[in-house]
């Protein structure tokens, strides 16, 4: 079956009441921007005969579209990245709780909403990377990034980036607001340059010499191991890495996940799709296709992801990252972190 990709508001209008409610279809709103996900969709279509109609945009735009559409929304599934976005969608009433033995059995409790309204299907570790030839004693904990010994050495993204918001939200949840504020000030004081660019740009900064230590998601680094990434792959052997906080709470992980839309016209197909994302084949492809860690224990992991090594992940329920998202942004603003 072919995938019908809907990329604009005009295309959305083409999803008529008849097609939205048609048997054998699934209307997917996704902010995942990875071309490799095509394999996930085509395999599901081939296995089930259900046609996937897609609308792709940034998470905020998709959530606003669903809010405006209200009860007439054709959306069956909202798929997005970062627990903060999933929490926001939940708070906006865009999901409905579901019951699925497959998801309950396979998805760890800390990687799903307490009420069953959304589930994680892949995860990424927020890691510390460093220049091997310039950093003899790399930070071993997130807290170390605020140590004055690393002044002028660190590069990180801006406070508007949801990955940075979620990392700080995890610190707020574990250590409280006062400690989180002190950490943010220390990190800010240690920056080598004004926050700029994405995670790949932070890693490139190590090779350019602008940065000695950076914070980045694991899959950006693993991707550069798997295939050529300009300005990164050629010199990647010069970069070392640390899974932070292995002696205490574990490394902060964030997720990609989704849930059934509140007014899903094809609810059973939507649940079937989420069950599929937790399957052995789909979990393996999240790793092989996009260099992410699976969420289901025992799933196959790509060679590049496996090369990063094993680590203990933070067991904090990722919904807490959404709960403390506002606190995190207030903290960044209070410190003046851009």
Half-sphere exposure of 153 (CA within 13 A, CB side): 21
Query: Taking 70 as the threshold, does the pLDDT of residue 15 lie above it?
Result: no
312 within a domain of the structure (yes/no): no
Distance CA 195, CA 184 (A): 13
311 within a domain of the structure (yes/no): no
Please tell me whether residues 298 and 202 are part of one structural domain: no
Query: Taking 70 as the threshold, does the pLDDT of residue 151 lie above it?
Result: yes
Helix axes 199-208, 218-226, angle to 10 degrees: 70
Q: Residue 194 — very low, low, confident or very high, per pLDDT cuts 50/70/90?
A: very high
- Give residue 159's domain range: 125-251+318-335
The CATH code of the domain that includes 158 is: 3.40.190.10
What confidence score (pLDDT) does residue 119 get? 98
What confidence score (pLDDT) does residue 23 get? 60
Please tell me whether residues 110 and 257 are part of one structural domain: yes
**Mind listing the pLDDT tens digit for each residue in 163-175?**
999 999 999 999 9
- Provide the number of structural domains found in the chain: 2
Please tell me whether residues 119 and 165 are part of one structural domain: no
Lowest mean pLDDT segment, chosen from 1-10, 32-41, 109-118, 224-233: 1-10
Hey, CA dihedral for 9, 117, 243, 336, is it positive or negative? positive
Query: Taking 80 as the threshold, does the pLDDT of residue 17 lie above it?
Result: no
Please tell me whether residues 273 and 230 are part of one structural domain: no
Please tell me whether residues 279 and 244 are part of one structural domain: no
**Mind listing the pLDDT tens digit for each residue in 262-287?**
999 999 999 999 999 999 999 999 99
**Mind listing the pLDDT tens digit for each residue in 232-267?**
999 999 999 999 999 999 999 999 999 999 999 999
313 within a domain of the structure (yes/no): no
**Across 293-318, average pLDDT:** 97
Could you give the percent of the chain with pLDDT greater than 90? Answer: 91
Please tell me whether residues 25 and 165 are part of one structural domain: no
Asked if residues 270 and 135 have their Cβ atoms less than 8 Å apart, the reply is: no
Please tell me whether residues 85 and 161 are part of one structural domain: no
Hey, CA dihedral for 11, 31, 188, 326, is it positive or negative? positive
Please tell me whether residues 114 and 130 are part of one structural domain: no
**Mind listing the pLDDT tens digit for each residue in 35-74?**
778 999 999 999 999 999 999 999 999 999 999 999 999 9
């Amino acid at each position: 079956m072919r995938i019908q990709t809907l990329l604009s508001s005009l295309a959305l209008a083409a999803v008529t009441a008849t097609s939205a409610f048609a048997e054998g279809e699934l209307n997917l709103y996704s902010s995942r921007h990875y071309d490799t996900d095509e394999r996930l969709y085509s395999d599901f279509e081939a296995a089930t005969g259900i046609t996937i109609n897609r609308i792709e945009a940034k998470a905020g735009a998709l959530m606003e579209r669903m809010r405006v559409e209200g009860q007439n929304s054709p959306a069956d599934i909202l798929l997005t990245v970062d627990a903060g976005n999933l929490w926001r969608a939940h708070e906006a009433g865009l999901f409905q709780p579901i019951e699925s033995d497959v998801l309950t059995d396979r998805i760890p409790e800390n990687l799903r909403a307490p009420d069953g309204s959304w589930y994680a299907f892949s995860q990424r570790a927020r890691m510390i990377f460093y220049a091997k030839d310039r950093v003899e004693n790399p930070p071993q904990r997130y807290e170390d990034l605020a140590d004055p010994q690393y002044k002028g050495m660190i590069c990180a993204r801006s406070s508007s980036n949801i990955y940075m918001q979620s990392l700080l939200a995890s610190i707020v949840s574990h250590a409280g607001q006062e400690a989180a504020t002190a950490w943010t000030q220390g990190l800010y004081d240690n920056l080598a340059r004004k926050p700029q660019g994405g995670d790949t740009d932070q890693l490139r900064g190590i090779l350019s010499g602008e940065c000695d230590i950076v914070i980045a998601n694991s899959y950006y680094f693993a991707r550069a191991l798997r295939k050529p990434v300009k300005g990164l792959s050629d010199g990647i052997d010069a970069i070392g890495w640390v899974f932070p906080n292995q002696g205490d709470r574990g490394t902060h992980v964030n997720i990609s996940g989704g849930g059934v839309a509140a007014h899903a016209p094809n609810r059973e197909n939507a649940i079937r799709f989420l069950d599929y994302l937790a399957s052995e084949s789909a979990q393996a492809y999240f790793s092989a296709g996009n260099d992410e860690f699976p969420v289901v224990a025992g799933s196959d992991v790509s060679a590049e992801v496996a090369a990063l090594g094993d680590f203990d992940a933070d067991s904090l329920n990722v919904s807490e990252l959404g709960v403390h998202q506002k606190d995190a942004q207030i903290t960044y603003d209070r410190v003046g972190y851009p």
